[in-house]
Amino acid sequence: MTDKKINANRAPYAADPKQSKGRIFSEPAPTYRSEFQRDRDRIIHSTGFRRLEYKTQVFVNHEGDLYRTRLTHSLEVAQIARSISRTMLLDEDLTEAIALAHDIGHTPFGHAGQDALHACMKEYGGFEHNLQSLRILDILEQNYAEFDGLNLCFETREGILKHCSLKNATKLGDVGQRFIEKKQASLEAQLTNIADQIAYNNHDIDDGLRSGLINIEQMREMQLFSTQYDKVMWKYPDLTGNRRVHETIRRMIGEQVIDLVETSRAKIAEVNPQTIDDVRNHTEQLISFSDEMRNHNQELKKFLRENLYYHHKVYRMTRKAHQVIESLFDVFMKDLRLLPPRHLTLAREALVESGIIGQARVIADYVAGMTDRYATNEYIRLFDVKGSVF
Ligand code: MG
């Protein structure tokens, strides 16, 4: 494809792989791919990405084969984000790279795991999954001869760092700068963040209904759901079960995507950015829902929080997750020799270099990198006297 043809499909304010702000270590340009395609490909081949398969979204992996995992969630986010990106003439490869990597820093056991690890790390700088995603991609992945991490482009790293405290922003160099200067990320990053919300709100309804922890009668109190549900039932009055739910949810996703594209297009037309820097320097995000859709989404999130995430059956698993994470972190902190050799070496080096804070960070990296089942097995190996130590 000629450059002219590529440009015809690209908005002037889209992220352009030829104008990238570059990688931490400079590398020759890829032969048959764009810089952002290369980033996407490196993410797919990373260890952290493969681990997403066995990490909890809401339901713990062993609770059922049909529920979302972090991996299927990331693929759904990528699908929604790419559709939006393409129709808005933005860079689809960058969008996909950000979407596939956006949850790579998550601990085992979903938010319960993150909360528990953050509490463990309170004295040592805390733990934040978003920051951990960047840490994995910049440092912890060790697969390449010439650099640590994946050496991704600035634009991909910028998109993955969705939020960040001012304290942490100052330590992060170029990608932290926008939080200090109160600027925006690229439109590809902005839309992927919202695609994440569209994906999880809708698939949590699906998983919630499938698990029986919430029911359709409750869901019909939500306007976003009931509008589409009524349309489905009017058109297909005999439809039952999963088909009825899926038909409703696919329409909900469609409605949210259309609202997002139309609202964002109108905002972009009004502000009329000419370059990606105009997007970054604008006072607010240009990708957004209409006020009405934002309110519907708030209502839905509140409902899911109260009825699904805090459902007593989900909450029991949350408690168990806390127990596993806290116990593992504490026992490794007390006795480093319990760590596998590679992590033991790293922990000892970190202790010499930066004291107990450094040691704690190595242990947090180890625990955060675990899948649900690896963490569960480590717990059994370390605390169940009848369990195997292997
Ligand atoms: Mg997510």
Average pLDDT value for residue range 119-134: 95
Q: Is 332 within the bounds of a domain? A: yes
Mark whether 354 and 295 lie in a shared domain: no
Q: What is the pLDDT of residue 8?
A: 66
Q: Give distance in angstroms: CA of 77 to centre of ligand 1.
A: 7
Mark whether 292 and 321 lie in a shared domain: no
Q: With 70 as the cut, is the pLDDT of residue 82 above it? A: yes
Mark whether 303 and 335 lie in a shared domain: no
Mark whether 130 and 221 lie in a shared domain: yes
Average pLDDT value for residue range 5-22: 87
Mark whether 61 and 172 lie in a shared domain: yes
Measure the CA angle with vertex 355, ends 352 and 359; round to 5°: 90
Q: Is 151 within the bounds of a domain? A: yes
How far is the C-alpha of 209 from the C-alpha of 365, rounded, in Å? 34
Average pLDDT value for residue range 51-60: 81
Q: Give distance in angstroms: CA of 224 to centre of ligand 1.
A: 21
Q: Give distance in angstroms: CA of 331 to centre of ligand 1.
A: 30
Write 296-303 long-range contacts (CB < 8 A, 24+). 296/222, 296/223, 296/224, 297/197, 297/201, 297/224, 297/256, 299/222, 299/223, 299/224, 300/201, 300/205, 300/222, 300/224, 300/225, 301/201, 303/218, 303/221, 303/222
- What residues contact residue 83 under an 8 Å CB cut-off, 6+ apart? 257
Q: With 80 as the cut, is the pLDDT of residue 378 above it? A: yes
Mark whether 49 and 184 lie in a shared domain: yes
| Residue 248: closest CA among 269, 222, 267, 282 | 222
Average pLDDT value for residue range 38-55: 95
Q: Is 305 within the bounds of a domain? A: yes
Mark whether 60 and 140 lie in a shared domain: yes
Q: Give distance in angstroms: CA of 57 to centre of ligand 1.
A: 8
Q: Which two tokens stand for residue 146?
A: 């010439």
How far is the C-alpha of 101 from the C-alpha of 44, rounded, in Å? 9
Q: Which two tokens stand for residue 304?
A: 């899911």
The last residue of one of the domains, among 282, 313, 344, is 313
- What residues contact residue 307 under an 8 Å CB cut-off, 6+ apart? 208, 213, 214, 218
What is the per-residue pLDDT across 328-338, written as a single tens digit (0 to 9) for each?
Answer: 999 999 999 99
The last residue of one of the domains, among 313, 336, 365, is 313
Q: What is the pLDDT of residue 63?
A: 65
Q: With 70 as the cut, is the pLDDT of residue 64 above it? A: no
Mark whether 282 and 363 lie in a shared domain: no
Q: Give distance in angstroms: CA of 116 to centre of ligand 1.
A: 18
b/e burial code for range 111-139 (CB count within 10 A of at least 16 → b): bbbbbbbbebbeebbbbbbbbbbbbbbbe
Q: Give distance in angstroms: CA of 56 to centre of ligand 1.
A: 11
Q: Is 388 within the bounds of a domain? A: no
Average pLDDT, the chain: 93
Q: Give distance in angstroms: CA of 55 to centre of ligand 1.
A: 12
Mark whether 38 and 151 lie in a shared domain: yes
Q: With 90 as the cut, is the pLDDT of residue 364 above it? A: yes
Q: Contact, 211 vs 67, CB < 8 A? A: yes
Mark whether 20 and 48 lie in a shared domain: yes
What is the per-residue pLDDT across 139-171, written as a single tens digit (0 to 9) for each?
Answer: 999 999 999 999 999 999 999 998 888 888 888
Q: Give distance in angstroms: CA of 133 to centre of ligand 1.
A: 11
Q: Give distance in angstroms: CA of 102 to centre of ligand 1.
A: 6
Q: Counting beta carbons within 10 angstroms of the beta carbon of residue 374, is it exposed (0 to 12), middle (13 to 18) or buried (19 or more)?
A: middle
The last residue of one of the domains, among 295, 313, 331, is 313
Mark whether 244 and 352 lie in a shared domain: no
Q: Counting beta carbons within 10 angstroms of the beta carbon of residue 61, is it exposed (0 to 12), middle (13 to 18) or buried (19 or more)?
A: buried
Q: Give distance in angstroms: CA of 388 to centre of ligand 1.
A: 35
How far is the C-alpha of 181 from the C-alpha of 176, rounded, in Å? 9
Three-state DSSP at 228 gives: helix
Instruction: Look at 57-71, 201-215, 239-253, 279-293 and tell me which has the smallest mean pLDDT.
Output: 57-71
Average pLDDT value for residue range 172-197: 94
Paired strand residues for 56:
69
Q: Contact, 14 vs 90, CB < 8 A? A: yes
CATH number at residue 75: 1.10.3210.10
Q: Is 235 within the bounds of a domain? A: yes
| Residue 92: closest CA among 154, 153, 34, 178 | 34
Q: Is 390 within the bounds of a domain? A: no
Domain of 90 in residue numbering reads as 3-313
Number of domains present in the structure of the chain? 2
Q: Is the dihedral of CA 366, 370, 374, 380 positive or negative?
A: positive
Q: Contact, 207 vs 58, CB < 8 A? A: yes
Q: Give distance in angstroms: CA of 22 to centre of ligand 1.
A: 26
Q: What is the pLDDT of residue 1?
A: 47
Mark whether 309 and 328 lie in a shared domain: no
Q: Give distance in angstroms: CA of 194 to centre of ligand 1.
A: 10
DSSP 333-385: HH-GGGS-HHHHHHHHHHHHHHHHHHHHHHHHHHHHH--HHHHHHHHHHHH-T
What is the chain's alpha carbon radius of gyration, rounded to the nearest angstrom? Answer: 22
Q: Is 88 within the bounds of a domain? A: yes
| Residue 129: closest CA among 166, 103, 151, 98 | 103
Instruction: Look at 62-66, 151-155, 213-217, 244-248 and tell me which has the smallest mean pLDDT.
Output: 62-66
Q: Is 389 within the bounds of a domain? A: no
